[in-house]
Amino acid sequence: MSPSSQQRQLFDAEPPPWELDEQAEQLVAEIVFSGAPWGPYDYCVPDNLRARLQLGKRVRVALGRGERPMTGYCVKLENRPAGARQLKPILQVIDEQTLLSPHMLRLTAWLADYYLCHWGQALDAAVPAGVRWQAGTREVKFFQLAPHARSQDASLKLTEKQRAIIEALEQSTRPLTLQQLMQRAKVTSAPIQTLRKKQLLEVTSERIMQTDLDDAPLPREANHDLHADQRTALATILSTLNSGQHRTILMHGVTGSGKTEVYIRAIEEVIRFGRQAIVLVPEISLTPQTRQRFRSRFERVAVLHSHLSDKERHYHWQRIARGEVEVIVGARSAIFAPTPHLGLIVIDEEHDGSFKQDSAPRYHARDVAEYRAKAEGLPLVLGSATPSLESWHRAHSGEYTLLTMPVRVYARPLPHVGTIDLRDEFQNRSSRGAVSRPLHQAIHQALREEGQVILLLNRRGFATSIQCPACGHVVECPNCSIALTHHRVEAKAVCHYCDYLIDAPVRCPECNFDGIRYAGLGTQKLEAEIRSRFADVPVLRMDSDTMQKPGSHEEALARFRDGEIKILLGTQMIAKGLDFPNVTLVGVINADTALHFPDFRASERTFQLVTQVAGRTGRGEKGGRVLVQTFSPEHPAIVAALEHDYERFAAGELEVRRRFNYPPFSAMIRLLVRGGLETAAEAFADQLADRVRQATKTCEVETRILGPAPAPLAKLHGKFRFHILLQAADAADLRRVVREAARDLKPPEDVFWAVDVDPLDML
């Protein structure tokens, strides 16, 4: 057949558009699944489901030749000309109400595109499991009169009981459940069923919540008079609010400067307009104090923390969706709260790593919030004493509006921060163990003056950098400016970014000291040392090992607050967001463990950590001080933290980032490969890197490819891990490269790989 005759045939077979009749059109739904095959797939919508099916509801369909039953989300609905191919029908519509507004559908589609995951994964992240399973709900039947049924109608020939039933329904303003109807008409279920069979009653069914959990409001707390910086900050937020335009506002305020107070005032304004606000805080800050602070200021608050049951989560979700909640306070995933008229998003401690999800979809709540705030035309307020360098950079390039609150409320002084040089301690051999003599004396004094003490040990035991105890020198990679990791068994030092490998030095390259080595220390060992140094003093250790039970974290903090515990020691878990007026001393056991982590953000993390922990002291009248033990007292991150000088730290660190072309000056994607067999995982990582190299050529994108190298956590849960770091100037270009490289790529059996866009975790 010649092309032209084929054309003619086509035209012959298909009438021109103006002749299409109704019959030739069909309603087509695009369905995506939460597992492979992900879709989207086209299904036709049968007439009887047209009224019920809506975008964002879930449906049952049969997939493929095997007619595999599947549940999927309806993400698109459109009329299309009935094609030659017969589409399978939607079998059932699951949800009574839609789970995703058009806004949220667009947001999840963007999320999947940006984070290189499947749409179904993004949808599952946005809709809590408890909502999908309809936890805590049950199907309830409601009875009402059929339009033609009347108790006075003699032609109906009703028994006395039947008449009582109809009368009860006539008198009710709402449809009744079976129980209610039996009670009101004083009958059993039998006559009700008879009437139903006669079609005098109509039955509808609805899913309702089993329980009605209720938060009783707390007594209202009075507002403070705002100080000048707070008034300026509030005015800026309110003017954005009133403009109806999106703006991101970065509030850089030292701990205790009154940022939360500003959020609360802005939210009050949002509520006056009949809108809702979302406040994201790090999971660890969702303490009873935070909850109470919001609940004492707002009547209808939903606090979404990780210990909620599915049932409770579903309950809150429904209330939020109905517009019954004014303020949603929650961790990362609260950014997906289905508020009908969102007015404001606040992210407190915006630099916190917990806003990034560490499994697919690996989204960052700050970026999702920014997308949402733009799409819905509202302000996004980011607050921190130590903003992430990404946000700081954006504020300085004019993308964000910067507000600063440099002083604490009542001008309370910031605590004095001092260092203890561990090199001196080492050379004088003045103490054995983790606690230096000056720190020991300071603890002693604090306890004698009835103060409390926090000791911080930031330890991830495996990360063993090589640092000279005599001069503090750290062996680094010349390509990446990252500390090399010591592999004791093979006596090698390796860069976990670019795979640079040398023999571990025996002598310090800097001062020639011949005892260069690293001795790790755990919280447990520290606890033992403290107990033996301060016998009879109540000590509590807090880390992820001791705080596994839900609620144990809060209980421990309550005991510390009450003064029962005098010394609290632990990992960074204790560094954040807690307000203890009686803490007069904070000791950082070894700031270097965080400083020489194989991560380009190591300095930033250390600065944040020391600053945050310093914010834990001096909150009350007594004031307080901070002592930081370190082998690197002249390191810029430590020096800046001592002086509470964020701006100086940020300026210096951004220079380093620029020089090595790290974010925020480039876009970064991390590819992580895991496998039970080291050789198989490594071979696949090599193959992946080759494909990326190919793809950079195909896409004509200049990309820096680091690795593959063993990940710093080279073996985890019995799997060997390799990673590849990709950097390019433009984020969209870089995603294009990874998409191209991943096209039809199938790892061998027992090898898995993951894409992490804008990675925070480099381990």
Contact partners, residue 87, CB within 8 Å, separation at least 6: 26, 28, 42, 43, 44
Backbone angles phi, psi at 35, to 5 degrees: -160, 170
Tell me whether residue 293 or residue 394 sits nearer to ligand ADP (CB atom).
293
Q: How far is the CB of 602 from Zn ion (least distance, A)?
A: 14
Please name the residue that has the structure tokens 């950082």. Answer: 588
Tell me whether residue 168 or residue 331 sits nearer to ligand ADP (CB atom).
331
Contact partners, residue 697, CB within 8 Å, separation at least 6: none
Q: How far is the CB of 257 from ligand ADP (least distance, A)?
A: 4
Q: How far is the CB of 405 from ligand ADP (least distance, A)?
A: 7
For 243-289, the DSSP string reads HT--EEEEEEE-TTSSHHHHHHHHHHHHHHTT-EEEEE--GGG--HH
Tell me whether strands 379-384 and 492-494 are parallel, antiparallel or unpaired: unpaired
Q: How far is the CB of 691 from ligand ADP (least distance, A)?
A: 47
Residues 639-698 that bind Zn ion (CB under 5 A): none
For 504-572, the DSSP string reads PPSS-TTT--TT-------HHHHHHHHHHHTTTS-EEEESTTT--STTHHHHHHHHHHTTS-SEEEESG
∠ Cα 421 425 431 (to 5°): 135
Here the tokens at position 603 are 């300095």
Torsion of CA 230, 236, 239, 244, to 10 degrees: -120
Task: Choose from ligand ADP, Zn ion, none: what does 500 bind? Cβ within 5-8 Å by kind.
Answer: Zn ion
Q: Rule CB under 5 A: is residue 497 a binding residue for Zn ion?
A: yes
Instruction: Choose the binding region for Zn ion from 106-114, 153-161, 386-394, 494-502 (rule: CB under 5 A).
Output: 494-502
The contacts found for 305-311 with CB under 8 angstroms, 24 or more apart, are 305/330, 305/331, 306/331, 307/550, 307/551, 309/130, 309/135, 310/128, 310/129, 310/130, 310/133, 310/135, 310/136, 311/130, 311/135, 311/136, 311/210, 311/211
Given 493, 495, 637, 669, the residue binding Zn ion (CB under 5 A): 495
Instruction: Choose the binding region for Zn ion from 255-263, 388-396, 497-505, 725-733 (rule: CB under 5 A).
Output: 497-505
Here the tokens at position 329 are 């306070």
Task: Choose from ligand ADP, Zn ion, none: what does 257 bind? Cβ within 5-8 Å by kind.
Answer: ligand ADP
Tell me whether residue 237 or residue 673 sits nearer to ligand ADP (CB atom).
237
Report the alpha-carbon distance of residue 598 to residue 421 in Å, rounded: 23
Task: Choose from Zn ion, ligand ADP, none: what does 671 bind? Cβ within 5-8 Å by kind.
Answer: none
Question: Maximum Cα–Cα distance for the chain, whole Å?
Answer: 110
Q: How far is the CB of 355 from ligand ADP (least distance, A)?
A: 17
Q: Rule CB under 5 A: is residue 6 a binding residue for Zn ion?
A: no
Task: Choose from Zn ion, ligand ADP, none: what does 497 bind? Cβ within 5-8 Å by kind.
Answer: Zn ion
Tell me whether residue 344 or residue 602 sits nearer to ligand ADP (CB atom).
344
Task: Choose from ligand ADP, Zn ion, none: what does 259 bind? Cβ within 5-8 Å by kind.
Answer: ligand ADP
Tell me whether residue 231 or residue 715 sits nearer to ligand ADP (CB atom).
231
CB atoms within 10 A of CB 18: 5
Task: Choose from ligand ADP, Zn ion, none: what does 479 bind? Cβ within 5-8 Å by kind.
Answer: Zn ion
Tell me whether residue 44 or residue 656 sits nearer to Zn ion (CB atom).
656
Task: Choose from ligand ADP, Zn ion, none: what does 504 bind? Cβ within 5-8 Å by kind.
Answer: none
Q: How far is the CB of 376 from Zn ion (least distance, A)?
A: 42
User: What residue ranges bind ligand ADP (CB under 6 A)?
Assistant: 224-227, 230, 253, 255-261, 409
Q: How many residues does the chain have?
A: 763
Contact partners, residue 326, CB within 8 Å, separation at least 6: 267, 271, 276, 277, 298, 299, 300, 301
Report the alpha-carbon distance of residue 199 to residue 160 in Å, rounded: 18
Task: Choose from ligand ADP, Zn ion, none: what does 480 bind? Cβ within 5-8 Å by kind.
Answer: Zn ion
Q: How far is the CB of 238 from Zn ion (least distance, A)?
A: 48
Task: Choose from ligand ADP, Zn ion, none: what does 19 bind? Cβ within 5-8 Å by kind.
Answer: none
Tell me whether residue 348 or residue 425 sits nearer to ligand ADP (CB atom).
348
Please name the residue that has the structure tokens 């709260």. Answer: 337
Task: Choose from Zn ion, ligand ADP, none: what does 260 bind? Cβ within 5-8 Å by kind.
Answer: ligand ADP
Q: Which amino acid is at 34?
A: S
Q: Rule CB under 5 A: is residue 602 a binding residue for Zn ion?
A: no
Q: How far is the CB of 615 from ligand ADP (least distance, A)?
A: 8
Tell me whether residue 233 or residue 470 sits nearer to ligand ADP (CB atom).
233
Q: Rule CB under 5 A: is residue 500 a binding residue for Zn ion?
A: yes
Tell me whether residue 266 or residue 480 sits nearer to ligand ADP (CB atom).
266
Q: Rule CB under 5 A: is residue 480 a binding residue for Zn ion?
A: yes
Task: Let me know: does 343 contact 273? Beta carbons within 8 Å.
Answer: yes
Instruction: Choose the binding region for Zn ion from 299-307, 310-318, 493-501, 557-565 (rule: CB under 5 A).
Output: 493-501
Tell me whether residue 340 or residue 581 sits nearer to ligand ADP (CB atom).
581
Task: Choose from ligand ADP, Zn ion, none: what does 608 bind? Cβ within 5-8 Å by kind.
Answer: none
Task: Choose from Zn ion, ligand ADP, none: what does 485 bind? Cβ within 5-8 Å by kind.
Answer: none
Task: Let me know: does 82 contact 26? Beta carbons within 8 Å.
Answer: yes
Q: Rule CB under 5 A: is residue 475 a binding residue for Zn ion?
A: no
3-state secondary structure of 93: strand
Q: Rule CB under 5 A: is residue 762 a binding residue for Zn ion?
A: no
Task: Let me know: does 255 contact 401? Beta carbons within 8 Å.
Answer: no
**Which H or E element spans position 688?**
helix 678-699
Give the residue ranges of DSSP H helices in 67-118: 102-114
Task: Choose from Zn ion, ligand ADP, none: what does 253 bind? Cβ within 5-8 Å by kind.
Answer: ligand ADP
Task: Let me know: does 490 contact 394? Beta carbons within 8 Å.
Answer: no
Q: How far is the CB of 404 from ligand ADP (least distance, A)?
A: 12
Q: Which residues bind Zn ion (CB under 5 A)?
A: 477, 479-480, 495, 497-498, 500
